[in-house]
Amino acid sequence: MAMRRFDPRQQQRGPQIRINQRIRVPEIRVIGEDGEMLGILPTHEALRRAQERGLDLVEVNPKADPPVCKILDYGKFKYDEKKKARETRIKTAAFEIKEIKLRPKTDDHDLDFKTRAAQAFLEAGHKVKFTVRFRGREITHPQVAQQQLDHIVQKLEEIAVIEVRPAMEQRTMTLLVAPKAVVMQKVQTARAQAAKALRKDRPEDRELARQDADVAKFEQQLADAEDEDDEDDDEDEAKE
């Protein structure tokens, strides 16, 4: 069985924010809820002041000497930080080249699935590189791969343009397609609307959210399909 690849899309745990009783240093520099500097206080004293106001004591700069903490509403703080991170991600999202791997033996059902994945990537603003891998005697029938790529191009012609035409590279044939200008304009508009909605505390743009969900779904399904293909290849090699 093929080993599961590490998925870089999975978020790694970041540093944990210490709040209230989790702040165990003896003294801290404290900022009040209105931004006023309260100076260096014993931690238990700062915590008492926060509790009297029905607020939390949150460590905002653990590397300072002493650490800097602020009295605030931690629930609102987390919400604001999440909103800022989401807005930044929307505005600065980098468009990538998504690779979709094929084999000359890829059947029509899998070919249609991978074409739908490519459509989702293109509609989200990404370029798509198709790579057809040849094994053994498959290399003697490059026309099969050419037919696959021609079929894909025809299916995507309304939203994609060919950036690099099909070409052989050793034992692979590759094709690179990019979103049409009208598609990119739609993506940029959706991102601007989503960022604006977040700033006004409204739900983000539904179209952008749908695109992000589709991209994540197809990326995972393609990774699973590639693992299955690798397992099939290992079995074929064992039989030869």
The per-residue pLDDT for range 109-128, each reduced to its tens digit, is 999 999 999 999 999 999 99
Average pLDDT over residues 180-209: 76
Q: 209 and 97 in one domain?
A: yes
Q: 100 and 182 in one domain?
A: yes
Q: 120 and 56 in one domain?
A: no
Q: Supply the pLDDT for residue 202.
A: 61
Best CA proximity match to 105, nearest among 129, 141, 130: 141
CATH assignment at residue 28: 3.10.20.80
Q: Which residues of 198-220 are buried (b: 16+ CB within 10 A; e: fewer)?
A: beeeeebbebbeebbebbeebbe
Q: 101 and 68 in one domain?
A: no
Q: Can you tell me whether residue 73 is helix, strand or coil?
A: coil
Q: 98 and 68 in one domain?
A: no
Quote the CA–CA distance of 138 and 121 in Å, as a whole number. 28
Q: 38 and 129 in one domain?
A: no
Q: 147 and 116 in one domain?
A: yes
Residue 87 corresponds to which tokens in the numbers above? 């807005």
Q: Can you tell me whether residue 107 is helix, strand or coil?
A: coil
Q: Domain for residue 128, yes or no?
A: yes
Q: 103 and 66 in one domain?
A: no
Show which of 72, 102, 136 is a domain's final residue. 72
User: pLDDT tens digits for 36-60?
Assistant: 999 999 999 999 999 999 999 999 9
First to last CA, the chain: 17
Q: Which residue range is the domain that position 33 belongs to?
A: 20-72
- For residue 8, pLDDT over 50 is answered with no
> What is the number of domains present in the chain?
2
Q: 37 and 143 in one domain?
A: no
User: Using an 8 Å Cβ cutoff, are 134 and 104 in contact?
Assistant: yes
Q: Compute CA distances 215 → 81, 119, 120, 150, whole Å.
A: 24, 10, 6, 23
Sheet holding 97-102, edge to edge: 97-102, 127-133, 172-179, 160-169
